[in-house]
Amino acid sequence: MQAPLVAFLSSHVPLQHLYLNNNGLGPHAGIMVADALSSLHEKKVAARKEGKTVPDLETVICGRNRLESGSMLAWAKAFSLHTGIKEVKMVQNGIRTEGTVALIKDGLKNAKGLKVLDLQDNLFTIKGARALADAVLQWPEIEELAAADTLWGAKGAGVLAKALKKGQNKKLKVMRMQYNDVNAKGLEELTD
């Protein structure tokens, strides 16, 4: 399945929305898909130089694919190139803390127009919460932020709360943060 998919993804310049949910890709195929998206970016740039109207890649839904941390550097690179991305959902991929940090810090942080981010049921811990808190300051358009079941605890909630308190995310409407062992103090910081 992956060879024709990779060929298509790396060359289909009109691609705007990618939905690959629950395909069992694994880290190796995940790298191949992410690298194909990086190649696609080059083709989009070349087409624009030729005067063609080319849409940005706006949506990537790639959850439940066992992408794991091993593919996150490739995904970070793809997202660092596709800065017009508006919606990213990569739930339940077995991404560990180092992968989550790389994905956010080296990739998604560059997506200034990001509206929806869903990374539920991957591992953040406090390091991932810090990366998210730093990145959220770069996302003035963010409307929905989902990081439930990521084990960041009360300290992670506090770190994110401090970033949100700066008031740069006025369009934020939905936050999914359940199952993170947020205590009363963390909840108080978030509601403040």
Mean pLDDT by runs of 10 across the 192 residues of the chain is 88 98 95 98 98 98 97 98 98 98 98 98 96 98 97 91 94 94 82 80
Burial 39-58 (b: 16+ CB within 10 A, else e): bbbeebeeeeeeeeebeebb
Whole-number pLDDT of residue 147: 96
CA distance 46 to 32: 21
Contacts 24+ apart (CB under 8 A), 131-134: 131/100, 131/101, 131/104, 131/105, 132/104, 132/160, 133/159, 133/160, 133/162, 133/163, 134/105, 134/109, 134/163
pTM, two decimals, is 0.95
Whole-number pLDDT of residue 115: 98
Whole-number pLDDT of residue 97: 98
Whole-number pLDDT of residue 181: 85
| DSSP for residue 16 | -
Neighbours of 110 (CB within 10 A): 17
